[in-house]
Amino acid sequence: MANGQLTDTRKPSSVTDLRSPIPTGRKFCSRLHKRSISLSKNTLNDDKSSLTSSGDGSPESVRPPRRRFLLKQRSVDNIVAPSLTGLSPISTRSVPNSSETKKKSSSGKRLESADRNRAPSMDSLARHSLLAAQVLHLIPAHKARERNYLHGRIAANSLLGSIELEKVLPSREVRIYVATWNMNGQAPPQGLNPLLLPDGLEHVPDIVAIGTQESYPERFQWEVTMQETLGPSHVLFHSLAFGTLHLAVFLRRDLIWFCSVAEESSFSVRPGTAFRTKGALGIAFYLFGTSFLFITCHLTAHQDKVKERLNDIRRITKSLELPKVLPLSRHSRDVTDNFDYVFWCGDLNFRICRPRTEVLNWLSQQSFPLDEPHEFTSEDQLTSNLSSGSVLRGFEEAPITFPPTYKYDPGTQNFDSSQKRRTPSYTDRILYKSRRSGPSGQESVQCLEYSSAQTVCTSDHKPVWGLYRSPIRPGIDTVPLAAGLFNREVYLEAIKKRAAAMDQRPDSSTVCSLQ
């Protein structure tokens, strides 16, 4: 799978006089501030002057509005290509040079009226696809002389050190979104917002991890669909497929420079079978100085197979070989003890030990989400084993206040009406674990919300998702860095699909592309 790297090449704005001496200190900052405020006014003045001066018919006198700059390179590939030039501090759209402006002024007149009426779909796409303009601070030479290699490598001035951490994450914490879904081998619905961007989210989380079981067989298309839903602010950092299991980790694009390389491992609880449907996948990496492990699994099915499921978990924790190259503070045979924070999600297949009719009668009297966990929680096979400590020690689960997620008649909200008539159960779960716990739990993962996507009906399972908050601490640059790598193929294909969808909106008009 090919990985890519975002770059953002900017040239000085056309309004900047490059021959003037370069100011320093407070004057420099003040001038930058004034320029950013005045540029928007100058843009409007330029538009007006170009319209009023068009009467003389001279190409030199016609200045096309800045709103037409994106038309120079209309294709989506060029929107994210590193060859974009002429970016001003207040615009993320490509700016043609003066010679090209003169040559294309006549064609610009014909496009001008169409552009004014055109919905700002591609403008919005370009703005959100490119990095926001930033002012680079001057680096005093004496500070560079005072630093030696060792100091910059392990201390606060390193790429993963405390100074950089507070610049990128002032609160020293990240929001993590974890979702699990048994897809029943079916294609995902047209809209994935209920799964990836549910109503309970106020902001798109920094890390998004999606684990699926009995996954849709078209892996690339599934990853593109997730990328398209999340948008250009996030990238597919790493993904892994094994049999019918799939795990994908998306990161906020600003954070990919501060991550280690991603490591992966897989394990089948049914060795020797040609079609692996039961097992586990793991993806591990560092963000600054904090290590993460994401696991998704599919355990042995059927109501009475509790011991088999518990044995599956024990084998998985001992068989996932992670980390491989990433540094360890201590090594344990239990893979979940080797990382700061672990998120374990999947179709764990644990059931409620109550008769079907009793559970259905109770469900008919409830309104979800519940205010507090219900009485059947103690009858859940996984909950009782977590409480006894017989498996997954140190793991927690947020209170369950949503309806059972299995089993439904596909395409409906009705529980299983087949001859097997299975008891509604919470087979799909998300657990989390913190290795460190400071005073009052400052260094522990906190669950902010735990819910299900009940409106997704393509499978006999409902997706389950959780939103978590995790502290981040500084690191050192000795870890093998990912250097901004991500899945560029998935990213570009998703951007094209978003652009095509925006162009098909009823309120958008067609504008030709100038290549």
Report DSSP letters for 214-253, one per residue. Answer: S--S-HHHHHHHHHHHH-TTEEEEEEEEETTEEEEEEEEG
* Structure-token pair, residue 496: 């094209």
CB 384 within 8 A of CB 352: no
**What is d(CA 283, CA 298) in angstroms, rounded to the nearest whole number?**
16
pLDDT of 194 reads 96
**What is d(CA 476, CA 90) in angstroms, rounded to the nearest whole number?**
35
Q: With a cut of 70, list the residues of the chain below it in pLDDT.
A: 1-136, 144-157, 272-275, 436-442, 505-515
pLDDT of 127 reads 54
Give the bridge partners for 450, in sequence order.
Answer: 466
∠ CA 45-47-52, rounded to 5°: 90
Read off the DSSP letter of residue 54.
G
Strand 245-252 vs strand 234-242: parallel, antiparallel, or unpaired? antiparallel
Beta strand ranges found along 334-373 (DSSP E):
341-347
**What is d(CA 270, CA 248) in angstroms, rounded to the nearest whole number?**
23
pLDDT of 54 reads 45
| Element containing residue 364 per DSSP (H, E) | helix 356-364
Dihedral class, residue 2 (left if φ above 0, else alpha if ψ from -120 to 50, else beta):
beta
| Element containing residue 295 per DSSP (H, E) | strand 290-298
Residue listed under structure tokens 């978590």: 468
Provide the terminal-to-terminal Cα distance of the chain, rounded to the nearest Å.
Answer: 30
Of 426, 421, 420, 382, which Cα lies nearest the Cα of 403?
Answer: 426
**What is d(CA 222, CA 224) in angstroms, rounded to the nearest whole number?**
5
**What is d(CA 412, CA 455) in angstroms, rounded to the nearest whole number?**
9
Tell me if the pTM is above 0.75: no
pLDDT of 494 reads 96
69 C-beta neighbours (distance < 10 Å), count: 20
* Structure-token pair, residue 29: 């900052």
Residue 237 has φ and ψ, to the nearest 5°, of -70, -45
CB 425 within 8 A of CB 476: no
Residue 162 has φ and ψ, to the nearest 5°, of -65, -35
- Amino acid identity for residue 105 in this structure: S
pLDDT of 373 reads 80
CB 422 within 8 A of CB 407: yes
Question: 355: burial class by Cβ within 10 Å (0-12, 13-18, 19+)?
Answer: exposed
pLDDT of 257 reads 95
**What is d(CA 124, CA 79) in angstroms, rounded to the nearest whole number?**
11
| Element containing residue 141 per DSSP (H, E) | helix 141-146
In the three-class reduction of DSSP (H, G, I as helix; E, B as strand; rest coil), residue 108 is classed as: helix
**What is d(CA 173, CA 194) in angstroms, rounded to the nearest whole number?**
25
Counting Cα atoms < 13 Å in the Cβ hemisphere of 145 gives: 3
CB 279 within 8 A of CB 270: yes
pLDDT of 376 reads 79
pLDDT of 124 reads 57
